[in-house]
Chain A
C-alpha cells in the first residue's frame, strides 16, 4: 500500500498487514467464502478502497490548507479591473456576489468544500481560472502541461536509463577505481538541487559562451507549428533545463542501482552462473540485473507521477512556460481553482501510479506476495 511496497511486502511475517485478517472479513458466509477463493481480487479490491480513501483525504487536506490562506481574491481581482480598465464606478454588492458565486466562494468553508467536490467529481470541472478569467482552469493548465511533460518526461527517462546502466556497471565492477570515483561523485552531486546545476549551466553555456538561449521555451519571433525552425528552436531552448535534470537524476539513479547491485553480488545463484562458465557479461545481463532493477522501476513510475507537479524552480529559472511557472503565478493571485487543479492533478497521478505499481509489482517479481 505504500510507496516502498517492494521493501515491505517482502518481509512477510513482519508485515503488520497480516494481522488485519480479523473481524473485517466477517460479512456474509457466501461473500467471505468467495473472497477467500479469490485472494488476488480481494487484494485488488482492498487496495482500491484504500486508494479512493487516500485520494479523497489528500484532496480535502489541500483544499482546507489553501482556503485557510487569508486574502480576498475577488476583491483583488475587481480592484485590478478598476485600475486597468478605467472602470471607475465602485463595484456593487451584486458584482462581488456574482464573482463569488462563479468561483464557488459563497457560504461557509464547508459549503465551499461541498461545492468544490460536486464540481470536481460530478461535473469533472476545475472551475474558472482567475489568472486568465473567462478561461477555465483546465484550459489554462492544459496550455502549460505539454511543455512540462515534454521537458520533464524526456529528461526523466534519459536520466533513468543512463543512471541504471551506469549504476549496474558501478556495482558490478565495484573495485574498479573508475566506479569508486563515480560513486563519490554521485554522492556529492545527487543531492545538489537541479536549480544549482541549471544556474551554473546557464552562466557558462549561455551567458559566457553563448551556445544556448537562456530562457523561455522557443524563439519568440517564430510562430508555433510543425516547421523545422520551430522544432529546432524548441529543442535548442530545452537542452539546458533538460541537462540540469539529467545530470542530477542520472547520478541519483546510479547510486540507487549500485546499492541494489551490491546487495545481490553475494548471492549463490551468481556464483553458480559463474561456475557454469557463463561469460561475465551474460551473468550481469541475465542473472544480476533482472534481480535488482525492480525498485528502480517503481521509482521511475512514481517519479512520472511527480512530473505533473512541474518543476517550479527549473521553470522559474529558465522562464519556461510550464505548470510550475503557472503555479507560482496562480498562487500570487490566490487563484484557488488553478492552484488546486494543479495540486489535485499531481496527487491523482502520483496516487494512481503508486496504486498501479502495487498491483503490477507481484507480476514483475514472483517473490512478492499479495499481503494486503
Chain B
C-alpha cells in the first residue's frame, strides 16, 4: 500500500509518466461515456441507424463531426468504436502480459534447458510474421465474439512482453536479496510472488502498454483492409468504411481524421507511460538523464 501511495505521490516529478496517465485517463473516460454520448446525440433515436442524418454532412451543431455515407452520426460511431478498441486493448494486453509473465518468470528464474526451450519458442513467435496469420485467421472467423478476438491477438503478441520481462528477471535473480530468500529456504513460488514480482511491476506495466498498442492495432489493421471479424465496430472499421466509401475524394475529412487522431492520442499516451516508466525505474537511464 505504501508503495502505491508513494508511486502516486512521486508522479508530479515524472512529467512524462504523469502526462501519459492523464491522457490515457481522458481517452478511457471518453470511451466509457459512450452510452450517454450516443443517447445525447440521438435524442431517443439511434444515431447509428441508416438515414439518421443526410449523407456526408459537414460538421454542424446537430452533427458535431458530420455524417457518413449512409447518414450515421460520426461522433456516435467514434465513441462506440473507441470503446471496442479499448476493450480489445485491455483484454488482449492483459492476456498476453499474463502469458508473457508466466513464460518469462518460469524460464528465467529456473534457468537451464527449460529456459533455452522457452526462449527459443519466444524467438520463434517473434520471427513468424503474425500479420499474414491474423489475415488467415480472419478467413475462418467470420462471426466471433470480442473475447475470442482478444485471445487470438494475445497468442500473437505475448512474445514481445515475455522478452522484455525475461531480460529483467535474468538480472534480478542474481541480486543479494534473492540469494537471502533462497538461503532461508523459501519456496520458488514464494520467492517469485513476494520478492521478484513487486520489483518487476514497472516492467510488467511496460509490457502491458506495448501489448495493448500491438493488439489494438492488430485489430485496426485487419479492419483497415476489410478483413476484420464481422460484428465488431472498432476504429479501424470506421476508417475502412470512410476510405472505401470515397470520403477522400469527397473531402469528408472528419470521418477518418477523428479516429486517426484518437488512436494517435491513445498510442501517444501509452508510449509516454512506457518512456516515463523506463526513465523512472531504469537506474542506468536515471543516472545520466537526471529524470
Contact = CB atoms under 8 A, between A and B. Distances in A.
Interface of A: 1-4, 7-8, 11, 13-17, 19-20, 50, 53-54, 57-58, 61-62, 65-66, 68-71, 174, 187-188, 190-193, 195-196, 199-200, 202-203, 207-208, 214, 259, 262-263, 265-266, 306, 309, 312-313, 316-317, 327-328, 331-332, 334, 339, 342-343, 346-347, 350-351, 354
Nearest to B131: A312
B155 to A, nearest CB: 10
A164 to B, nearest CB: 19
A131 to B, nearest CB: 15
A211 B50 CA distance: 36
Contacts, number: 149
Contact of A7 (B108, B120, B167, B264): B167
A130 to B, nearest CB: 14
A251 B135 CA distance: 28
Given A16-B116, A207-B249, A263-B288, A70 B140 contact: yes
A3 B260 contact: no
Contact of B132 (A199, A327, A350): A327
B1 interface: no
Contacts of A263: 284-285, 288
Interface string B190-226: 0000000000000000000000010001001100110
| SS class, residues of chain A in contact with chain B | helix
Interface in B222-257: 224-225, 227, 239, 243, 248-249, 251, 253, 256-257
Lowest 5 A-B CB distances belong to which pairs?
A266-B288, A191-B267, A188-B268, A16-B111, A196-B260
A69 B248 CA distance: 35
Most B CB within 10 A of own CB, among A68, A196, A342: A196
B160 to A, nearest CB: 10
Interface stretch (B25-33, B75-83, B121-129): B121-129
Contacts of A350: 127, 129
Given A58-B124, A191-B268, A339 B248 contact: no
B74 interface: no
Nearest to A325: B225
B289 interface: yes
Given A346-B129, A354-B127, A69 B272 contact: no
A328 B140 contact: no
B6 interface: no
B136 A331 contact: yes
A331 B139 contact: yes
Most A CB within 10 A of own CB, among B129, B135, B263, B284: B129
Contacts of B9: none
B288 A265 contact: yes
A262 B249 CA distance: 45
A309 B271 contact: no
Contact of A187 (B115, B116, B124, B271): B271
Nearest to B268: A188
A3 B239 contact: no
B287 interface: yes
Given A58-B128, A69-B139, A188-B264, 12 more contacts: A1-B123, A3-B123, A3-B127, A14-B170, A53-B120, A54-B120, A61-B124, A199-B243, A259-B285, A313-B225, A317-B243, A331-B136
Contact of B221 (A50, A199, A313): A313
